[in-house]
Amino acid sequence: MENPWLLLALLSALAIAFISKIVFKTDQKLGPPGPKPWPIIGNLNLLGSIPHQSLHHLSQKYGEIMLLKLGKFPVVVASSPKMAEQFLKVHDAAFASRPPALAAGKHISYDNSDVSFSPYGPYWREARKILMSELLGTKKLDQFEQIRVEARRSFFSRLKALSGKPVVLREHLSRYIMSTICRMVMTNEYVGDSSIIDDGGMAEMMRDWFVLTGVFNIGDWIPWLGPLDLQGYVRRMKAFRKKSDSFFGYVIDDHIARRRDGADKDFVDALLDLAEDPNAQLHLTRDSLKSLIMNVVLGGPDTSITTVEWALHEMFRQPRIFERARAELDAVIGRDRWVEENDFTQLPYVDAIIMETFRLHPIATLLAPHYAIQDCNVAGYNISKGTSILINTWSIGRDPNTWDAAEEFLPERFMGKQTDMTGGNFALLPFGSGRRICPAYNLGLKIVRTTLANLLHGFEVELEEGMRAEDVSLEEQYGLATNPKHPVSIIVKPTLPAHLY
């Protein structure tokens, strides 16, 4: 070639192209495996109506850690205890935040100002601290024990009055647990027939909160489709916001009025004190007050209700479990009292039922999404800043490398073992783990344990006449908490001395 500079330029271009190709391929290998995304929608087409099941089936092909594109956003899914530990413990600080632009965070959580969905940082730390010190810490929970006892006795008294009649337990559990938490948080009875909202209206708000905070809203992942609201979720979120504004705004105003009268203080009053303190590290607006109160009042009950429901569904399919649990309760508790919170060190089989329910029917089948606040290498894979992380606890509970007979409900698998349920065992994560573990896990365990144990101890619980064990459905209704889609109708008959009810 006559021009050596042209030859040099061509050779340089070829070299650069070759090196770029190698680097590109290498970079590709450094990301987790996953299905090839489509233009615009990414892998949204692979998510069915029960997303955690869709992701579980994908993990069978792509492995325990996989990369998806939902719309234009990268999402990494962890489906094994080993990978959950990587995100929730080993690299917890890098993934402790929440995705910033979800519609639920904007419309339901008052611009991400609650503890569940607020980004990781000073606001979240201070908000969580006030929750623990004023409501959910061990000392406070001990102070509130009598409230829980009274609400529980009232619940069992109402069940006794329905003896022999068909009962859909969810409705009664909802009323009882909602009443318990409302009394702990707000003191006054704001829910009931003569109050600002009745039991049915509050139960509807609670269901909407769990469904709408857990949905896969297309506009979150394909932002230019957001204004179209193709699924109608944003419209429902805005309607929910109006209801929550009305109810929680009333609670705040009523507390402000009562404070002038020198009434006893509760959790809402503690928040109001903080909001009025010019030196407080946590700046609380009226909206953030509503959000923090709502977080506990609506977020607390359904997790307990769901666990008790799933436990009974599984036990109805295996009556032998009822028999063994009752035998343990009769031997340890006797027939002259109810089960109390401090009895559970002596009730390993009832506790095993609860653990097995958490395993096979986790409260949150997908933990609330985590979010990478920095680039990070996880198990040899590069995870870029801005990636959302989903921990599939439903898949972890069915991991054949961790659990024998993983699809079977076998409480016996936990007998004779010390099993942590509070974030230290990454094969069993009912409340999450790490910095973003559910702050109410201690309260949730107390309510689930005493509710289920006393139902088994104080009542003969049977299916409605004409329904067989094999008719009990395990089909799921997806949300932030995943409920039985078809609640069973049951018959309860009291078995303890009448004066106990």
CA distance 386 to 72: 12
Structure token digits, residue 421? 């349920």
User: At 2, which amino acid appears?
Assistant: E
In contact, 454 and 338? CB cutoff 8 Å = yes
Give the residue ranges of DSSP H helices in 31-111.
Answer: 51-62, 81-85, 103-107
Rounding to the nearest 10 degrees, give the CA dihedral for residues 21, 27, 29, 34. Answer: -110
In contact, 425 and 359? CB cutoff 8 Å = no
In contact, 91 and 427? CB cutoff 8 Å = no
CA distance 385 to 372: 5
Determine whether the annotation assigns residue 376 to a binding site.
no
Residue 260 belongs to what H/E stretch? Answer: helix 233-260
- Helices H / strands E in the chain, number of each: 17, 11
In contact, 52 and 398? CB cutoff 8 Å = no
For Cα atoms 381, 69, 20, give the angle at the middle one, nearest 5 degrees: 55
User: At 264, which amino acid appears?
Assistant: D
Q: Whose CA is closest to 50, among 170, 216, 226?
A: 216
Rg from Cα positions in the chain: 25
Annotated binding site for heme: 438
Give binding residues as ranges: 438
